[in-house]
Amino acid sequence: MHILLKNKNTLFLDDFEFKCCVGLHGLTKNKIEGDKKTPIGIYSLGKLFYRKDRLGIINTKLDKEIITKSMGWCDDIKSLKYNKLIRISKKKIKHEKLHRDDKK
């Protein structure tokens, strides 16, 4: 599968066109956390995380996982768990909650 980024707002996958969003400061080969740039590279697709209470059951061939209230994504660059799925606990690991209350 090849995905082509046409511009900052459009990408193509085969015959399909999708809205997308890249970093505020564009693309880079030398990504630094917090630089507001999207890294250039070849990447594989990971799991599809979704809220079952909002979307129901999703029919896809992608590997998927239902988001729970205890799920977070580590954003602490000093942690060995940086940029990985974590279980939110009483330990103070900087993270973003995956189970959000807003509609984003």
* pLDDT computed for residue 3 by the predictor: 66
23/28 Cα distance (integer angstroms): 9
pLDDT(29) > 90: yes
Nearest one of 49, 32, 40, 50 to 3, comparing CA atoms: 40
pLDDT(84) > 90: yes
Residue 91 confidence class, pLDDT cut points 50, 70, 90: confident
* pLDDT computed for residue 2 by the predictor: 62
pLDDT(103) > 80: no
* pLDDT computed for residue 104 by the predictor: 65
Which pTM does this prediction carry?
0.69
